[in-house]
Structure 1
Amino acid sequence: MSSGTDARIHNIGYRNYEGERQGARYARRVLFTHSLRGAFGLGRSARSKVLPMGLFGIMTIPAIVIVAVAAFVGIDELPIEYTQYAIFMQPIVGLYIALAAPQMVSLDLRFKVTPLYFSRPIERSDYVLAKFAALSAALFLFCGLPLVLAYIGGLLAELGFVEQTKGFGQGLLITTVFALLHAALGLLIASLTPRRGFGVAAVIGALTVPYFAATALQAVAWESDNPDPIGWLGLLSPGTMIDGIQSAFLGGTSGFPGEQPPSDAAGLALLLAAAATTAVCYLLLGRRYRKAGL
């Protein structure tokens, strides 16, 4: 309203919302779907799709080769075991995690949009759960879809339906453990900085430095004719944890020196360590968002 003889009231057309209110469950589902799509660059610019889709293409190359060889040449056994696929392709998976985790959380912190999420009917715990579930699902798809192609190759090569199905199921099981562990760790690290570049570097460092340290110490132990600590040294990095678990419990070939699986005690310790690391990282991520956005 203005003063003087030109005073007037403008009707700007606001009216009450009369549609259905979906509630927190709908908001969580939408946040999960949006985050999962964003992990592959869907719904974003073409440039944002190049790296995740390119890495996914590289991830599927060995599986495509297996299918091609099985279809035209024939093979006696798969060159890569189902339980080893994610470990074999770990550098590519690590790069993907380093891209996807900061994209999910660092940008929200940088542009200070987390208060907008929390103004909706969701709590901070809902935000953390949706992001964790989205990255876990993205990693499961990233590592699991190539297993589907390899499984098709195994069936085309007539390697045995029961044997291939069992191996495929074991591969999906260890892929689930892999996805949950690395999603919790990647999101926690990425949430500590609003700078996406710093988040990428931090995630790469957290996944590669402990892995190389663990494998170097295992090699030293093997060359010193002291193989007993090798399985326990797998506790030093997420990658060696997964390798030890798949060889100890799922019958996969070990990537440790000498291809020897860890002892029963070391295997159990690796499994408990992976579960504890996932749980602790998730709890710390929830604690991080108790103050985020305030």
Structure 2
Amino acid sequence: MPEPTGVIHDIGYQRYTGPRLGRRHVFGALYLHGLRTAFGLGRSAKAKIFPWLVVGVVAVAAAGITAVRTQIGEVVMTYAQFADRMSWMVIFFVAVVAPELVSRDLLSGVLPLYFSRPLPREDYALAKLLALVTALWLLLGGPQLVMFLGAAFTTDDGIRGVWNELLDLLPGLLYAGLWAVVFASIGLLISSLTGKRAFAAGGIVAVFLMTTPIVGILSIMPSQTVNELAFLASPSTLVGATGAWALGDLLVFEGSSGPPIGGFGPLYAVATVALVAVAVLLLLLRYRKVATR
């Protein structure tokens, strides 16, 4: 009988015997990783340039507004107005960050590794969406906190003045959250359709910027009803019109009448909620169908 030639070597591999944290911790880890990715943390210096450039722009704007208010003693821009005026920065931030969050995973083919863990496909999509929403809210809400601190420390009314500032701040933070949810849901949905980050970025910019001229065309139509409904044609103007209806004087500058939406304010609010719901639903359906092999 021939002698056996195979040899089994014990090289020390052992089974994992530690705690298995499960689905909730996987979701949390993916969310934190996505949030760090949005600001380029833990990545190369090149990946940090654009996110922190945008952060720097909005922070400098907030500091400038605070300084002017301190000097003249009057409110230059409310917190909600700040979020509204800085919203154009969100478009470009989303166009760069959303593809980094999901398009890169599609291109590199790592989704099978994610889904081999106790992580449902819906959790992957929702964790990425929550990370992008948080990043956008911090982008618009963080500078508002700078404005609030500047106003709180220079108020002449003591505790009452700080309280009044807080009451003005909260609607501004909620409005920033509205921008974040709408832009993140649309941006992530578009990015999930392709592994090419350049295509995803172009699609996002197109959806947000190329729909704006449609609003301009509809707003000069002979029909007043069409004029008042024109702002439904673009996500940016949809959010702005919803905010103008909900916040009123906190958003509309003095001497301005705001978007001419007539009595359609509630319709704009419903349309905004429906837009987000449809975008999130399509995002979840996308990841149910995405190929992982």
TM-score by length of 2: 0.90
- Provide the C-alpha distance between the structure 2 equivalents of 1:173 and 1:227, rounded to a whole number of angstroms: 31
Q: Greater CA deviation, 106-115 or 240-249?
A: 240-249
Q: Please state if 1:245 is matched with 2:246.
A: no
Deviating more after overlay: 141-150 vs 161-170: 161-170
2:7 matched to 1:8? Answer: yes
Please list, as runs of the form range in 1=range in 2, the aligned pairs for 1:122-201 lying within 5 A after superposition: 122-158=119-155, 160-201=161-202
Distance in 2, matches of 1:74 and 1:260, equals 25
Residue 102 (structure 1) aligned to one of 96, 99, 102: 99
Letter in 2 for 1:283: L
> Offset at 1:61?
1.7
After TM superposition, list the pairs within 5 Å mapping 1:7-46 onto structure 2. Answer: 7-46=6-45
2:87 touches 2:179 (CA, 8 Å); kept in 1? no
Change (3 A) 1:261 1:203: closer
Is residue 238–residue 272 contact of structure 2 (8 Å, CA) maintained in 1? Answer: yes
> Structure 1 178/233 Cα, relative in aligned 2: closer, same or farther at 3 Å?
same
| Residue 83 of structure 1, CA deviation | 1.4
How far is the alpha carbon of 1:254 from its aligned partner?
A: 4.1
Identity %: 35
In the aligned structure 2, how far is the partner of 1:7 from the partner of 1:76?
A: 86
Q: CA contact under 8 A between 2:59 and 2:143: conserved in structure 1? A: yes
CA displacement at 1:212 relative to structure 2: 3.5
Please name the residue that 1:209 is paired with.
210
Does the 8 Å CA contact 2:99/2:197 hold for their aligned counterparts?
yes
Q: Contact between 1:102 and 1:196, CA under 8 Å: does it hold in 2?
A: yes
Distance 1:161 1:262, change over 3 A: farther
Distance verdict in 2 for CA 1:236–1:108, change over 3 Å: same
Match of 1:269 in 2: 267
Unaligned 5+ segments in structure 1 are none
- SS of the equivalent of 1:20 reads coil
Q: Return the alpha-carbon distance in structure 2 between the equivalents of residues 60 and 175 of structure 1.
A: 15
SS in 2 for 1:174: helix
Are the structure 2 counterparts of residues 63 and 146 from structure 1 closer, same or farther at C-alpha, using a change threshold of 3 Å? same
| Alpha-carbon separation, structure 1, partners of 2:81 and 2:67 | 20
How far off is 1:63 after superposition?
0.5
Taking the aligned partners of 2:273 and 2:217, their CA distance within structure 1 comes to: 24
What is the CA-CA distance between 1:211 and the residue it aligns to?
2.4
Report if aligned partners of 1:87, 1:239 keep a CA contact under 8 Å in 2: no
Contact 1:184–1:281 under 8 Å retained in 2: yes
Q: CA deviation at 1:109?
A: 0.1
User: Does residue 55 of structure 2 align to residue 56 of structure 1?
Assistant: yes
- Matched AA of 1:30: A
Per-residue CA deviations over 1:97-133 (Å, capped at 9, x if unaligned) read 1011101000000001111110010100111110111
- Whether the 8 Å contact between 1:243 and 1:254 is mirrored in structure 2 is no
Q: How many residues align?
A: 285
* CA distance in structure 1 between the partners assigned to 2:259 and 2:206 by the alignment: 26
Structure 2: tracts of 5 or more residues without a match: none
**What is the SS of the residue equivalent to 2:63?**
helix
Alpha carbons 2:218, 2:226 under 8 Å: kept? no
Deviations 1:66-113 (A, max 9, x none): 222344x23311x22221223212221111010111010000000011
